[in-house]
Structure 1
Amino acid sequence: MQAYLKLDHIDKTFTRGSATTEVLKDINLTIEKGEYVSIIGHSGCGKSTLLNIVAGLTGTTNGCVLLENREVNSPGPDRAVVFQNHSLLPWLTVYENVRLGVDKVFAKTKSRAERDAWVMHNLSLVQMAHARDKRPSEISGGMKQRVGIARALAMEPKVLLLDEPFGALDALTRAHLQDSVMALHQKLGNTILMITHDVDEAVLLSDRIVMMTNGPSARIGEVLEVPLARPRKRLELATNPAYLKCRQRVLEFLYERHSFVEAA
């Protein structure tokens, strides 16, 4: 059976003048439809570069990305990205920020009334329908990120790409948004690839955690299965042996890699 999303022998080298830096080396990963996969590793290991390659924002030096057995090497609505910075257009309202993408993707397939209903449906999914007429400067950081998620979901992507989406938020807001994303994943069954530096976040949200070795020439060091049933409740997981075992293994991997760098 073909993998839904496949990263096939990906290498990435950056060249500046006469200097070349190999960031990623021989990355191989398959992701099934509906899976939630997190990529974790130390700074400089190429996590965001890898996500940008999947998004089509950065090309590979060797290898390719296959989505439903079709090579993707440029941006497209089938892969929507939510960045750490919400990237909302400040002169547009919450509704208009989401509507912009909806009009672009569905102009030929949905009527104006259908597009309006679809925007409001996705704002309701992230509990932001009440703020439809507010501008980004009038809402909190967590609310802006909710709008960014609604905008991505509204394009009906085959893969949702999250680049440290909660990294700039305070702990309480981050926890609320993590719970919201878990609920959305449970409801929609969408395929998610997330970059994170937060061990607890990775274990809480993911079906598998991809642990990257340190750069340069970073590789996939280990892929950890997270055998926790869904839906998940963070308070119950705090003392769950399987949760604690996964958390310990990720920490061990990261600390082993950190010690290796310090010793080098």
Structure 2
Amino acid sequence: MAYLDISDVGISFTRSGKTSEVLQGVSLGIEQGEYISIIGHSGCGKSTLLNIVAGLLKASTGGILLDGKEVNSPGPDRAVVFQNHSLLPWLTVRENVALAVDKVFRGRKSKAERRAWIDENLALVNMLHAADKRPAEISGGMKQRVGIARALAMEPKLLLLDEPFGALDALTRAHLQDQVMEIHARLGNTMLMITHDVDEAVLLSDRIVMMTNGPAATIGEVLPIPLERPRRRLELVEDAVYTHARAAVLEFLYARHAAPALAA
């Protein structure tokens, strides 16, 4: 059995007597330490699937197992990094990370050990120098680094990333992508990321899961990315494996499964 086993998952919502089927028959196995990206057009249920894995939504059909245990509610074994950093503005960077650390490790680590663990994770994302600043005093990219540090500090079995770089400028996004690759190489986290960015998906992923359009969206194709790690973006610009993978994703999204508005 896979480390994360998504089995025949479907979900529908009923509003005003009308039922809308968002996902249907989604099955995917993810091994420990894999970096998986899910890509598809808006409305294909990518974030809905991630929210089901996070335990924030309950599937209508099918089920999910993480490390052999059923997923049916939120838990510290799954940490989510959203596009919006969700930092509390009245707390410092260190205090924002401490919220998660205290919840997970109170009773297991002393106060001094928790502080050291917080600082270790802030150092991992190069934010220890700003530990005493508040969110209003740091940039958008720095806020997202704090969000990643907070998630990592929970020591989750699975790190869920919901378009984590989508609100950032191109240069900041590239820096954070490189940093996430370094963290993944160092810690070996299992990561599941939602993205709209084809280049981002190819650069970061071991496999790319491509979703069909909704309603009743499902997995259309899973594309392995056989690029050696570590990956350096400048070296990949003319790499044949990289360009082939990029072309395969674009062909799926814009030829075989064009967005409804484009296909009309």
- Range into which the TM-score falls when normalised by the shorter chain: over 0.9
**Match of 1:252, SS?**
helix
Is residue 159 of structure 2 the alignment partner of residue 145 of structure 1?
no
Quote how far apart the aligned CAs of 1:261 are.
5.7
Please list the CA deviations of residues 20-54 of structure 1 after superposition, one character each: whole Å capped at 9, or x if unmatched: 10000000000000000000000000000000000
Partner of 1:199: 198
The letter for the 1-side match of 2:231 is: R
Q: In 2, Cα distance between the equivalents of 1:14 and 1:260? A: 20
Question: Which stretches in structure 1 are left out of the alignment for 5+ residues?
Answer: none
Q: In 2, Cα distance between the equivalents of 1:246 and 1:239? A: 12
Quote how far apart the aligned CAs of 1:258 are.
1.1
Partner of 1:94: 93
Q: In 2, Cα distance between the equivalents of 1:42 and 1:263? A: 12
Could you tell me the TM-score, scaled by structure 2's length? 0.98
Runs of at least 4 residues of structure 1 off by over 3 A?
Answer: 259-264
The letter for the 1-side match of 2:143 is: K
Q: In 2, Cα distance between the equivalents of 1:187 and 1:113? A: 24
Is residue 105 of structure 2 the alignment partner of residue 106 of structure 1?
yes
**Match of 2:75, SS?**
coil
What aligned pairs does 1:66-215 form with structure 2 within 5 A after superposition?
Answer: 66-215=65-214
Q: In 2, Cα distance between the equivalents of 1:199 and 1:5? A: 24
**Match of 2:56, SS?**
coil
The letter for the 2-side match of 1:131 is: A
Q: In 2, Cα distance between the equivalents of 1:7 and 1:195? A: 16
Distance 1:113 1:211, change over 3 A: same
Q: In 2, Cα distance between the equivalents of 1:173 and 1:103? A: 30
Q: In 1, Cα distance between the equivalents of 2:263 and 2:115? A: 57
Distance 1:235 1:17, change over 3 A: same
Percent identical pairs in the alignment equals 71
Q: In 2, Cα distance between the equivalents of 1:180 and 1:191? A: 15
Question: Which stretches in structure 2 are left out of the alignment for 5+ residues?
Answer: none
Partner of 2:29: 30
Q: In 2, Cα distance between the equivalents of 1:190 and 1:103? A: 21
**Match of 1:258, SS?**
coil
Q: How many corresponding residue pairs?
A: 263
Partner of 1:21: 20
Partner of 1:244: 243
Q: In 1, Cα distance between the equivalents of 2:241 and 2:152? A: 31
Q: In 2, Cα distance between the equivalents of 1:244 and 1:48? A: 27
Quote how far apart the aligned CAs of 1:262 are.
3.9
- Cα RMSD of the aligned pairs, angstroms, is 0.9
Q: In 2, Cα distance between the equivalents of 1:100 and 1:260? A: 42
The letter for the 1-side match of 2:93 is: V
Partner of 1:217: 216
Please list the CA deviations of residues 121-147 of structure 1 after superposition, one character each: whole Å capped at 9, or x if unmatched: 000000000000000000000000000
CA contact (8 A) 2:4 2:67 kept: yes
